[in-house]
Amino acid sequence: ETGVTQSPTHLIKTRGQQVTLRCSSQSGHNTVSWYQQALGQGPQFIFQYYREEENGRGNFPPRFSGLQFPNYSSELNVNALELDDSALYLCASSPDGTSYEQYFGPGTRLTVT
């Protein structure tokens, strides 16, 4: 069983640009959650997808959007990047129906200049 993987590992973007981060969930996991972790903070919930539908959202603006695909991969898209978007972005996958167990990927470090 492969773990959760994320790409890229690091990314540098300019303010105003758009970015797409990718996550590959564990096989058989139908739920994926995305988190933003700023320096010195705990992960903050962005949103969750279950069977390709958004299933809950945290306190993030609409320029944060996501997609989940049938092959257990997902994307986080951020438009109109701001300097405060610089953070570690984590995805976590969960088995179907038991979302308490979340398996995190290593994260993508995004720097916005």
Partner 1 sequence: DQQVKQNSPSLSVQEGRISILNCDYTNSMFDYFLWYKKYPAEGPTFLISISSIKDKNEDGRFTVFLNKSAKHLSLHIVPSQPGDSAVYFCAASDSGTYKYIFGTGTRLKVLA
| Site for partner 1, rule CB under 8 A | 4, 31, 33, 35, 40-45, 48, 55-56, 58, 90, 92, 94, 99-107
Q: Write down the least CB distance from residue 54 to partner 1, Å.
A: 12
Q: Is 38 strand, coil or helix?
A: coil
- Nearer to partner 1 among residue 40 and residue 62 (C-beta): 40
**CB-based contacts of 79, cutoff 8 Å, min separation 6:** 18, 63, 65
Q: Write down the least CB distance from residue 45 to partner 1, Å.
A: 5
Tokens at 66, concatenated:
């996501």
Q: Would the CA dihedral through 30, 66, 2, 45 be positive or negative?
A: negative
How far apart are the C-alpha atoms of 54 and 16, rounded to whole Å? Answer: 25
- Nearer to partner 1 among residue 48 and residue 78 (C-beta): 48
- Nearer to partner 1 among residue 14 and residue 54 (C-beta): 54
- Nearer to partner 1 among residue 73 and residue 103 (C-beta): 103
**CB-based contacts of 12, cutoff 8 Å, min separation 6:** 110, 111, 112, 113
